[in-house]
Chain A
Amino acid sequence: MRRINSLYGRIGLLKRVSEKSTKQSHTFLASLTFSTEGSYGGDGEFQQSSSKVKIFDRDLKRIHRDRAAWLSRQKNDTFVDAVAENLIDRLEDCKKSFPTAFCLGGSLGAVKRLIRGRGGIEKLIMMDSSYDMIKSCRDAQEDSLDNSIETSYLVGDEEFLPIKESSVDLIISSLGLHWTNDLPGSMIQCKLALKPDGLFLAAILGGETLKELRIACTLAHMEREGGISPRLSPLAQVRDAGNLLTRAGFSLPGVDVDEYVVKYKSALDLIEHLRAMGETNALLQRNKILNRETALATAAIYDSMFSTEDGSVPATFQVIYMTGWREHSSHPQAKRRGSATVSFTDLQKQFGGQS
Chain B
Amino acid sequence: MVRLSRVLLKDAGSVIDKTLSDILVCPLSKQPLRVCEKTKSLVSDTIDVSFPIKDGIPCLVPKDGKILEEEGDASKA
A79 at the interface (CB under 8 A from B): no
Q: A157 and B17 in contact (CB under 8 A), knowing A125-B23, A162-B26?
A: no
A17 at the interface (CB under 8 A from B): yes
Interchain CB contact under 8 A, B20 and A125: yes
A14 to B44, CA, bound (A): 12
For chain B, give the interface size range.
20 to 34
Residue of A nearest to B33 (CB): A162
B residues near A168, Cβ cutoff 8 Å: 23
Interchain CB contact under 8 A, B77 and A152: no
Interchain CB contact under 8 A, A14 and B24: no
A112 at the interface (CB under 8 A from B): no
Interchain CB contact under 8 A, B62 and A7: yes
Interface size on A, residues (CB 8 A): 39
Stretch from A89-97, A129-137, A346-354 contacting the other chain: A129-137
Interchain CB contact under 8 A, B19 and A150: yes
Q: Which of A7, A11, A162 is B63 in contact with, Cβ under 8 Å?
A: A7
A14 to B28, CA, bound (A): 9
Shortest distance in angstroms between B9's beta carbon and chain A's nearest beta carbon? 10
Q: Which of A1, A131, A150, A162 is B25 in contact with, Cβ under 8 Å?
A: A162
Contact with B along A130-162 (1 / 0, CB 8 A): 010011001000000000001011111100111
Interchain CB contact under 8 A, B23 and A164: yes
Shortest distance in angstroms between B74's beta carbon and chain A's nearest beta carbon? 12
A residues near B8, Cβ cutoff 8 Å: none
Shortest distance in angstroms between B13's beta carbon and chain A's nearest beta carbon? 12
B residues near A3, Cβ cutoff 8 Å: 63
A3 to B25, CA, bound (A): 21
Q: A163 and B63 in contact (CB under 8 A), knowing A1-B76, A131-B54, A153-B57?
A: no
A251 at the interface (CB under 8 A from B): no
Contact with A along B17-42 (1 / 0, CB 8 A): 10110111111111100000000000
A167 to B32, CA, bound (A): 13
Shortest distance in angstroms between B43's beta carbon and chain A's nearest beta carbon? 13
Q: A10 and B25 in contact (CB under 8 A), knowing A153-B57, A155-B57?
A: no
B49 at the interface (CB under 8 A from A): yes
Q: A155 and B58 in contact (CB under 8 A), knowing A7-B28, A161-B27?
A: yes
Interchain CB contact under 8 A, A4 and B24: no
Interchain CB contact under 8 A, B20 and A14: no
Interchain CB contact under 8 A, B28 and A10: yes
Contact with B along A100-138 (1 / 0, CB 8 A): 100000000000000000000001010001010011001
A31 at the interface (CB under 8 A from B): yes
Interchain CB contact under 8 A, A162 and B65: no
A70 at the interface (CB under 8 A from B): no
Interface centre among B24, B29, B56, B62 (most CB of A within 10 A): B62
B residues near A14, Cβ cutoff 8 Å: 29, 46-47
Contact with B along A163-200 (1 / 0, CB 8 A): 11101100000000000000000000000000000000
CB pairs A–B below 8 angstroms (22 shown): A4-B66, A7-B63, A7-B67, A8-B28, A10-B48, A13-B48, A17-B29, A125-B19, A129-B61, A131-B54, A135-B57, A152-B19, A153-B56, A154-B24, A155-B54, A155-B57, A155-B59, A156-B59, A156-B60, A157-B60, A160-B27, A164-B25
| Pairs A-B, 8 closest by C-beta atoms | A160-B27, A162-B27, A162-B60, A10-B47, A155-B59, A31-B30, A156-B60, A152-B17
Residues of chain A at the chain B interface (Cβ within 8 Å): 1-4, 7-8, 10-11, 13-14, 17, 24, 27, 31, 59, 62, 100, 123, 125, 129, 131, 134-135, 138, 150, 152-157, 160-165, 167-168
Known: A2-B66, A59-B63, A123-B19. 9 other contacts (CB 8 A): A8-B28, A125-B19, A125-B20, A152-B17, A152-B20, A157-B27, A157-B61, A160-B60, A160-B61
